[in-house]
């Protein structure tokens, strides 16, 4: 029986970064898993509704994608989230899967892990983020979920590898840009590269991080006398990051052991 794969992300309303960071991963999955029907789903209803209203462009929710698999007679389904942490959006996917299985008990559905889950994920991502020799400030999304600790853990692992000038702050998590600015000043660092630690370089990266608005991270750093080199590039553009998501899908499928 043919298998199904649903590639699920929060989503974005920015076409260019969607193509660079989401389409690119989906295309790799289609190439590597030719035994499977590959569908897209977004978890954000806000993004889905905006795309439909603004662009007449429809994206399924995870439940809608599962229903399409059902229509195609596919009961062996794997969902690979393109999420950074095992937080609120990940739990939303799990709830939708549980609700679907309550009415379709004969389906087999496995959900892969987000980018930061296995200990080896942290080591791999730490190496990827530390390739640049400049002092780096990364913008993560952050969360009220307990998984927000993942950002701090990753930063600590990067520091333990000897990269003392890599900082990760979040928009909605515990560690803020104000915390990082204080550390930069304490370390007498006066120039940094500012990059998003997010799947896509969407609204947060373009507005909250890189814009000239008074409350953007770029402006806040510059007000404190720190020169800023901005890079608008989502994690989904990086092949090595894509590789981790694909490995997690292989683990969910049983094609490889947990590494």
Q: What is the model's pLDDT at position 229?
A: 94
* Residue 3 near residue 76, CB atoms below 8 Å: yes
Residues 92-122 pLDDT 10s: 999 999 999 999 999 999 999 999 999 999 9
Q: What percent of the chain has pLDDT over 70?
A: 97
Calpha distance 25→235 (Å, rounded): 11
Q: What is the model's pLDDT at position 198?
A: 97
Report which DSSP code applies to 236: G
Calpha distance 191→229 (Å, rounded): 8
- pLDDT of residue 242 exceeding 70: yes
Q: What is the model's pLDDT at position 257?
A: 67
Count of CB atoms situated within 10 Å of the CB of 185: 13
Q: Which listed residue (58, 141, 145, 248) is catalytic?
A: 141
Q: Is 204 a catalytic residue?
A: no
Domains of the chain: 3-115+237-253 (3.40.50.1400), 119-233 (3.40.50.1400)
- pLDDT of residue 247 exceeding 70: yes
* Residue among 93, 149, 144 nearest 116 (CA): 149
- pLDDT of residue 20 exceeding 80: yes
């Amino acid at each position: 029986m043919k298998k199904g794969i649903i590639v699920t992300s929060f989503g974005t309303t920015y076409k260019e970064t969607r193509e660079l960071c989401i389409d690119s991963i989906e295309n790799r999955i289609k190439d590597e898993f030719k035994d499977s029907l590959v569908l897209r789903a977004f978890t954000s209803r806000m993004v889905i509704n905006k795309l439909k209203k603004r662009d007449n462009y429809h994206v399924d929710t995870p439940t809608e994608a599962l229903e399409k698999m059902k229509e195609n007679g596919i009961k062996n389904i794997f969902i690979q989230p393109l999420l950074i942490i095992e937080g609120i959006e990940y739990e939303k996917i799990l709830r939708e899967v549980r609700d679907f299985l309550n009415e379709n008990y004969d389906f087999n559905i496995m959900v892969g892990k987000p980018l930061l889950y296995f200990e080896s994920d942290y080591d791999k991502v730490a190496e990827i983020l530390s390739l640049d020799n400049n002092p780096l400030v990364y913008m993560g999304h952050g969360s009220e979920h307990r998984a927000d600790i993942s950002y701090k853990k990753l930063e600590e692992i990067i520091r333990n590898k000897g990269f003392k000038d890599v900082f990760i702050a979040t928009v909605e998590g515990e560690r803020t840009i104000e915390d990082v600015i204080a550390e930069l000043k304490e370390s007498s660092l006066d120039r940094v590269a500012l990059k998003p630690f997010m799947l896509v370089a969407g609204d947060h990266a373009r507005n909250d991080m890189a814009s000239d608005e008074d409350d953007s991270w770029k402006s806040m750093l510059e007000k404190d006398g720190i020169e800023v080199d901005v890079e608008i590039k989502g994690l989904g553009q990086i092949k090595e990051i894509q590789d981790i998501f694909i490995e997690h899908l292989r683990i969910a499928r049983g094609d490889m052991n947990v590494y």
